[in-house]
Amino acid sequence: MKYLIIGSKGQLGNEFVKRLSLLNYNFIGVDIDELDITRRDDVIKFFRNVKPDVTINCAAFNLVDEAEENPEKAMAVNAGGTLNIALASKETKSFLIHYSSDYVFDGTKKDGLYIESDKTNPINKYGESKLKGEEILSDTLSDYLVFRLSWVFGEGTQNFIHKFIQWTKNSYELKIADDEISIPTYTYDIVDVSLKSLAQGLSGLFHLTNSGYTSRYGWAKHIADILKLNVNLIPVSKEVFNLPAKRPDFSAMDNNIISQEIGIVIPTWKESVINFLKSKST
């Protein structure tokens, strides 16, 4: 079995590289410097040469505010790139695992966490591009896995934990949004669930998050408490920051279906933040 990890230098791709290395799996990892997924001919040629049995697409344009300023680029990567990978996977009979986002929802649900069958309605360009990627996969392939993720954190600099720790080094007083609610989700757990789902032959679309939910403020407070950071956190509305992209108020997703399918209990976000911070200190 040969695995192809696309986007191998990002925080999720890097976690797959570490795990597949530990498992002694046969895999190839590539990033944009080796394969630009927006170039269809290059993607198809690469797949023909490598002939992967399983493709794990961790590549994405995930700069939410930049997507608002440059929606064409977000769409080119998150939709066009996904189409190119899907076409190459179909031709080479490679099983595709792809990752989407909680930002496909508008955040207005009032009766619990979002489930897989809930109506999508993105309110920013990033969410639109990720939803388009989902639709392209369902139109192109009959057998694949799509996992919607939220607030991903792991090794790297493109996540809230890294940014928050950097902010605390420069300022004692920090304003953090307490009206933006979702679920911090650890790359280690994403990889774990992905590989278990693959081993059990699952296909379709699932919500893959840690358990529970919180606000950005709640997340920051948990990090500060664990690390005993000397910082004064002030809860504010997300509107204070006047960011280019609108964020859903509440986009927390229910992970019950995937948990039941593979027979595990996914750790809470609080547990996984502790585990991640412990791994960084050892």
Give 220-242 pLDDT, tens digit per residue. 999 999 999 999 999 999 999 99
Determine, yes or no, domain membership for 38.
yes
> Rounded to an integer, what is the distance from CA 257 to the centroid of its chain?
18
Please enumerate in sequence order all residues whose Cβ is within 8 A of that of 26, keeping only pairs 6 or more positions apart, or say none. Answer: 1, 2, 3
- Cα separation, 282 vs 280, whole angstroms: 6
Count how many domains the chain has: 1
pLDDT tens-place string over residues 149-189: 999 999 988 899 999 999 999 999 999 999 999 999 999 99
Contact status, residue 35 vs residue 42, Cβ threshold 8 Å: yes
Residue 188: closest CA among 102, 266, 256? 266
Determine, yes or no, domain membership for 245.
no
pLDDT tens-place string over residues 72-81: 999 999 999 9
Determine, yes or no, domain membership for 164.
no
The predicted pLDDT at position 282 comes to 60
pTM equals: 0.97
Q: Taking all residues of the chain, what is their mean pLDDT, rounded to a whole number?
A: 97
Determine, yes or no, domain membership for 272.
no
The predicted pLDDT at position 280 comes to 81
Q: What is the CATH number of the domain that holds 94?
A: 3.40.50.720
Determine, yes or no, domain membership for 244.
no
Enter the tokens of residue 44: 């198809």
Contact status, residue 109 vs residue 249, Cβ threshold 8 Å: no
Rg (CA), the chain: 18
The predicted pLDDT at position 158 comes to 84
Determine, yes or no, domain membership for 26.
yes
Domain of residue 40, residue span:
2-157+184-210+253-262
pLDDT tens-place string over residues 92-139: 999 999 999 999 999 999 999 999 999 999 999 999 999 999 999 999
Q: What is the DSSP string of 17-28?
A: HHHHHHTT-EEE
Determine, yes or no, domain membership for 77.
yes
Determine, yes or no, domain membership for 163.
no
Q: Where are the alpha helices (DSSP H) in the chain?
A: 11-22, 40-50, 64-69, 71-75, 82-92, 125-140, 160-170, 187-199, 216-227, 256-262, 269-281
- Cα separation, 113 vs 107, whole angstroms: 10
